[in-house]
Amino acid sequence: MSLRLSGGRRLQSPPGQSARPTPARVRLAVMNILAAELPGAQWLDLFSGSGVMACEALQRGAAGVVAIEQDRANAATCRANLAAVCQGLGRPCSAEVLQRDVLSWLRCPTRGEATAGSGGFDLIYADPPYRAELYGAIGAAIASGPWLKPGGLMLWECSSTAVPDIPSGWGLVKLKRYGSSSVLVLNKD
């Protein structure tokens, strides 16, 4: 499968069937939703796969990205894609890829302070395996740690046929459906 950013840059595709890259239509819609928040933002990409969403965020003005991906091959692909995008931007940016289990990583608050700085991330994007039912655990872990800056947003990509419940402590800002995928934009209550 060939991956291209909205600006036309070609990216490496993840090997095999271990990742489900976000469709171009969904990526473009998310970037349009976040257009005002992206310049200078710190982006946390959970279950990053190829890193295509983080690459789009950098291309649209994010200052830095931390991508978490458990699969070794996908993490290597993500690292290569982010490095290529950063190199081609012509402006300073930072990109870090950590090969970790997302929930274990989120449950260690000192990791968040070390990675995001004391203020946390402006935008957190979570695209877990749709059937893994991890959304509630992700929401709880982020709400209880130093992950999200005040006024920041968390976005969930999910199946349109199985939209997760909004966890306690979170408010739904927007829900958009794009065929078989939906995106929820959440803020802390």
Q: Distance between CA atoms of 174 and 21, rounded to whole angstroms?
A: 22
With respect to residue 18, please indicate whether it lies within any of the assigned structural domains: no
SS3 148: strand
Q: Distance between CA atoms of 48 and 181, rounded to whole angstroms?
A: 16
Phi, psi of 120 (to 5 degrees): 85, -165
* Sheet strands (E) in 99-180: 121-126, 148-159, 170-178
β-partners of residue 44 are 66, 124
With respect to residue 128, please indicate whether it lies within any of the assigned structural domains: yes
With respect to residue 86, please indicate whether it lies within any of the assigned structural domains: yes
With respect to residue 110, please indicate whether it lies within any of the assigned structural domains: yes
Q: Find, among 33, 38, 41, 36, the residue nearest to 116 by Cα.
A: 41
With respect to residue 124, please indicate whether it lies within any of the assigned structural domains: yes
- The whole domain housing 7 covers 3-13+23-188
Q: What is the pLDDT of residue 90?
A: 83
Residue with tokens 């893994």: 132
Q: Distance between CA atoms of 30 and 55, rounded to whole angstroms?
A: 13
Predicted TM-score (pTM) of this structure = 0.90
Q: How many domains does the chain have?
A: 1
What single letter denotes the amino acid at residue 72? R
Q: What is the pLDDT of residue 136?
A: 95
Q: What is the pLDDT of residue 91?
A: 86
Q: What is the pLDDT of residue 173?
A: 97
Q: What is the pLDDT of residue 93?
A: 87
Domain harbouring 125, CATH code: 3.40.50.150
- The pLDDT tens digits along the chain (189 residues) read 556 666 666 766 766 665 667 777 888 999 999 999 999 999 999 999 999 999 999 999 999 999 999 999 999 999 999 999 988 888 888 999 999 999 999 988 665 555 655 579 999 999 999 888 999 999 999 999 889 999 999 999 999 999 999 999 999 999 999 999 999 999 998
